Amino acid sequence: MTTISTPRNHPSLTTVLLASGFVLTLSMGVRHGFGFWLQPISQEYHWTRETFSMAIAIQNLMWGVFGPFAGMAADKLGTAKVIVLGAILFAVGLLWMALVNQPFAFIAGSGILIGAALACTTFGAVSGIIGRTAPEAKRSWAFGMSSAASSFGQFFMMPVDQQLIQHAGWQNALYVLAALMLIVMLPMAWKLREPVRVADTGPQQSTMEAVREAFSHKPFLLLLAGYFVCGFQLVFIGMNMPAYLKDKGITDPSVAVIALSLIGLFNIFGSYGAGKLGGLFPKRYLLSSIYLSRSIVIALFVLAPLSTYSVYIFAAAIGLLWLSTVPLTNGVIAGIFGLKYLSMLSGFVFFSHQLGSFIGAWLGGYMYTKNGNYDAVWVVIVGLGIFATLINLPINEAAIERDTKLPLAA
């Protein structure tokens, strides 16, 4: 296993978790709230829901496409520089959403800019510095803490987004969030500066050697497939929940706000718990259990009579399972491949997640436009959860054995 030594002035684990936590809280909090803009923007410009859905779909796809490159940059240049770039892109992307009223330009600009920003300010960008800072015994826990921070962002930002839209208007709400990106993220990036790492011990790999090794390793491919399902499920639910409830007769907007906030609140506990359990039990079994539980919870929600209370119960239950896959997946990657290219490899796995997010976001809008409801998509989501349950079971978490005579990377 490759070990990476760090100088004494490397930021402490507490500093890394706090600073990356603020970044994840804001970035993921804003991202999870985009569903609140679906109806006001569509009504303002007389667009179908598919237009806004496509913008979010492109955004999620670009998040995945740029993820490996953001991870490479974080591994090579440091997390701080990547977060600075992400904060700037996020602010510009939010301004674009506020100002552009042509469908194609809105889809392309907001999709690409915010997609790239998310790649630079979320899990792929910060997983490397967390993995390098946390001792092995605490690594799964540390990943769980970062995932919990992103969940707190969803819990905290949902009512903030809704109140900003209600009292300031949807455009001004985007202006405020753009300013917050710079005010909060730039100081936090300063806290995540890493000193230059000393030479690694153990086998040396170039970037391309690490990529080829990962994609030729079956457990990595299974993680890719499972994370595809995760992205499909979460983006469809997070984006379409407000509209779905309204279609079903629950017209009070506060119900959707509370539901999405409950998802974030309960995911704090779910993510933290998954991180703790990941240090005690095989992560593949925990991942399978999460996907199976999601399918059961979603099926019960769709089949049971819908009420305000059933919505809140569903939100709490799905919240426990929401991002609990993140610390376990990153823990498996770190355990198999080591830490040197952790951000990059996490970025590749997250690309699969975002490919699922792209299809989930687009399919929701498409099926609604075609059928007038989301019924078929719910069936697909349950089936994919069962598929992910099965493919995570055979993952071998053992550290990969490398040739100790590998040549030094150029």
pTM of the model: 0.75
Please count the residues of the chain.
Answer: 410
pLDDT at residue number 220: 93
Where in the sequence is the domain holding 268, given as residue range(s)? 13-195+206-392
Q: Helix, strand, or coil here: 339?
A: coil
Strands (DSSP E) along 63-154, which ranges? none
Instruction: Read off the pLDDT of residues 65-112 as tens digits, 9 standing for 90 and up.
Output: 898 888 888 888 888 999 999 999 999 999 999 998 888 899 888 889
C-alpha angle 112/118/122, rounded to 5°?
160
Instruction: Read off the pLDDT of residues 353-381 as tens digits, 9 standing for 90 and up.
Output: 878 878 887 787 778 778 878 888 899 99
Instruction: Read off the pLDDT of residues 148-159 as tens digits, 9 standing for 90 and up.
Output: 887 787 778 877
pLDDT at residue number 196: 59
Does residue 408 surpass a pLDDT of 50? no
Question: What's the mean per-residue pLDDT of the chain?
Answer: 84
260/284: higher pLDDT: 284
Q: What is the DSSP letter of 10?
A: S
195/201: higher pLDDT: 195
Q: What are phi and psi of 201, to 5 degrees?
A: -105, 155
Instruction: Read off the pLDDT of residues 307-361 as tens digits, 9 standing for 90 and up.
Output: 999 999 999 999 999 888 888 988 899 889 888 888 888 888 888 987 887 888 7
Residue 139 lies in a domain: yes
pLDDT at residue number 1: 43
Instruction: Read off the pLDDT of residues 292-301 as tens digits, 9 standing for 90 and up.
Output: 999 999 999 9
Q: How far is the CA of 330 from the CAs of 17, 171, 174, in angstroms?
A: 15, 36, 32
410/98: higher pLDDT: 98
Number of domains in the chain: 1
Rounded CA separation 52/244 (Å): 15
pLDDT at residue number 203: 53
At residue 407 the predicted structure's pLDDT band, cuts being 50, 70 and 90, is very low
pLDDT at residue number 202: 46
pLDDT at residue number 404: 52
Residue 3 lies in a domain: no
pLDDT at residue number 3: 44
**CATH of residue 348:** 1.20.1250.20
Residue 149 lies in a domain: yes
pLDDT at residue number 209: 86
pLDDT at residue number 387: 95
Residue 222 burial (C-beta neighbours within 10 Å; 0-12, 13-18, 19+): buried
Which residues are CB-contacts of 199 (< 8 A; sequence separation ≥ 6)?
none
**Which string of DSSP letters, residue by residue, matches 301-331?**
HHHSPP-HHHHHHHHHHHHHTSSTHHHHHHH
Residue 123 lies in a domain: yes
Nearest CA to 100 out of 114, 83, 79 is that of 114
Q: Are 48 and 370 in contact (CB under 8 A)?
A: no
364/170: higher pLDDT: 170
Residue 79 lies in a domain: yes
**Which string of DSSP letters, residue by residue, matches 239-277?**
HHHHHHHHHTT---HHHHHHHHHHHHHHHHHHHHHHHHH
**Residue 180 is encoded by which pair of tokens?**
């917050």
Does residue 186 surpass a pLDDT of 90? yes
In Å, the largest CA–CA distance within the chain is 66
pLDDT at residue number 197: 54
Positive or negative CA dihedral for 279, 207, 147, 130? positive
Rounded CA separation 258/161 (Å): 12
pLDDT at residue number 61: 82
Residue 8 lies in a domain: no
The residue-averaged pLDDT of 173-185 equals: 94
Residue 201 lies in a domain: no
C-alpha angle 44/48/54, rounded to 5°?
105
Rounded CA separation 120/81 (Å): 9
Beta bridge partners of 204: none
pLDDT at residue number 6: 47
Upper half-sphere CA count for residue 61 (Cβ side, 13 Å): 16
pLDDT at residue number 96: 94
The residue-averaged pLDDT of 8-12 equals: 71
79/200: higher pLDDT: 79
Instruction: Read off the pLDDT of residues 41-57 as tens digits, 9 standing for 90 and up.
Output: 888 888 877 788 788 87
Rounded CA separation 395/256 (Å): 37
Q: For a pLDDT cut of 90, what percent of the chain falls above it?
A: 29
Residue 211 lies in a domain: yes
